[in-house]
Chain A
Amino acid sequence: MKDEARFIYSEDLLRYRFGDNHPFDNRRLKPTLDLIRTLGRLEDHHLHPPRPATEEELILVHDPDYICLVKEADRGDIPRERLEEYGLGTEDNPVFPGIHQTSALVTGGTLEAAEIVMSGQARHALNLSGGLHHALRGKASGFCIYNDAAVAIAQIRKKYQARVLYIDTDAHHGDGVQWAFYHDPEVLTLSIHETGRYLFPGTGNVYERGHDTGLGSCINVPLDAFTEDESWLDAFQRVIPRIARSFQPDVILSQNGCDAHRYDPLTHLSATMRIYRIIPQVVHELAHELCDGRWIAVGGGGYDIWRVVPRAWTYLWAEMSGRPLNEMEIPRSWLEKWQPKSPLTLPDTLHDPEGLFEPIPRREEITQKNERTVNQVLKMAGLLK
């Protein structure tokens, strides 16, 4: 084993979707996988199939009555009000055929990734179908049924007693994972996201810092809408390495939602592909510096499934698998194959070229505000005088 990485995948995972008019559609992995392959970054020995999570595993994080309901939800005879009590059957979280089986498979994929890394079969493992960070103990929320990352962390705690650093760079606050470990000093959850003042789910303020013995093991960096690359990266680079070094984890689990991009229809952070090249670099380095390379990564949000998701997650896997990609053109063959299917014109470079997006007004004020937030976060963590 050198710097070997595993890619969790099976076509069954593509069934995690809520219908044609819903922003979350895991079929986004098809063009993503194809782009990774076209660039020669995925070979058969990387692939590892998921398995369904067992009820015993799901119960580490979820209430038994919630799991029971999800199992029966697609039968068609559960009253609407009862489903809604559990966050299901809403426009955000419609019930789909096989909702339990597919959601359990996604969770099992992240559990496999965790086991591969913790048992030493490979240093890194990626489950792009995972990262469903909003799912709560007894409730579906924000397109998430089971909280795969939380279940995997709970399993790591139980089986390996390892200290886990969870890094969440989705544009939305990683609330479900935060609450699952709010009292646990051995799991540090770190989320950098668009402020909840405007965006779903509303939480993720700097003063949410964990509770009781877990106080301090929860870190939130809420950034202003229209933050853009420079300020986003400044916050990320000032906070993540310092927190990671002071926490000294045994393993890192990163959630790699890519919905902070300017094209994303649900959010307003207005970043470009640049952050999605740098995030995995930084996390990768920290994993080697602090955890002997142990790094589990999952996907997450990403609602421009044509122009953003394939490129962002190609950068992620390329970094993980030890053959990172730089700024480059996208092969014509990929564009010719997928352009007819995409309602939007596909970009022809992996990166977003300089000057592609018009600058946003009020950049200076937004940058200042984010700097203050970062200072406050570092002060509360005792890392800044």
Chain B
Amino acid sequence: MLVEEIMHRNVHSVTPSTSIGDAIHLLKNHQIRHLPVLDGDVFVGLVTDRDLRSASPSSLDPKGLRNLLHRPVSEVMIRQVITAHPLDFFEDAARALYEHRIGCLPILEGEKLVGILTETDILRRLIEIFGVDRPSQHVEVEVEDRFGILAEVADIFGQHRTNINSVMLERSQKEDHLNIVFRVQAKDLGKIIDNIEQAGHRVLWPRTNPDPEGGV
């Protein structure tokens, strides 16, 4: 999945000469936290609500505050901004946000701003990935880590003509094993689970006890 598939294309922006007061207004009105600063088409910086707040003088100094609101954003904007490209991978964008502890990535093609990606967009996409768009349920299987294992287990669903909505693979706590988490379009899993067990895999869900090691 690429950044261009999930980024926002209609971006609210300001120019270097926009006043700080107007920028604050824009952030409040649109309930956003980041404003790219554009000089014509060219991306020159970013103002965030956090920067604007920390630049603000105390409310005990009304005159100072009034002065500040009339100054241009170019005085408080960040110029060294971490950005991304529309063809970057979703995972890499997520990592950039996480590692630099930032909330948004302006997406640039050359110097031109084409979109913006925020941590909220990443979370929304993750929710969609884990989500349920068709009636389905959860099956979790612990398998040996070897060639063809995913195809083997997936084939059992195929034999029962059961659609798989999503698959996740992760390392198992058990050495040389993987956990495969499926969401499948079936209400009755009985026969499928029997076949998975007959094939020698351990079914972690469905189970009859909240403690996977316990037995009722």
Contacts and interface: CB of A to CB of B under 8 A. Distances in A.
Interface residues of B, number: 25
Contact of B160 (A91, A136, A198, A265): A91
Nearest to B207: A268
Interface in B200-216: 205-211, 214, 216
Contacts of B186: 90-92, 200
B138 A198 contact: yes
A198 B205 contact: yes
Interface residues of A, number: 32
B214 A361 contact: yes
B30 interface: no
Contacts, number: 78
Interface in B102-154: 132, 135-138
B135 A90 contact: no
B135 A142 contact: yes
Contacts of A199: 137-138
A197 interface: yes
B135 A134 contact: yes
Contacts of B188: 22-23, 91-92, 143, 266
Nearest to B161: A90
B187 interface: yes
Interface string B152-195: 00000000111000000000000000000001011111110000
A366 B210 CA distance: 9
B188 to A, nearest CB: 5
A21 interface: yes
Contacts of A136: 135
A279 to B, nearest CB: 22
A202 interface: yes
A196 B132 contact: yes
Nearest to A266: B188
Contacts of B214: 361
A90 B132 contact: no
A201 B134 CA distance: 8
Tell me which of A91, A141, A266, A366 has the highest count of chain B C-beta atoms within 10 A of its own C-beta: A91
Contacts of B211: 361-362
A358 B216 contact: yes
B5 to A, nearest CB: 24
A250 interface: no
A84 interface: yes
Contact of B187 (A92, A196, A362, A366): A92
A360 interface: yes
A198 B135 contact: no
A21 B209 CA distance: 25
Contact of B162 (A90, A196, A197): A90
A163 interface: no
B161 A202 contact: no
B216 A360 contact: yes
A225 interface: yes
Contact of B190 (A23, A200, A360): A23
Given A21-B191, A268-B208, A201 B136 contact: yes
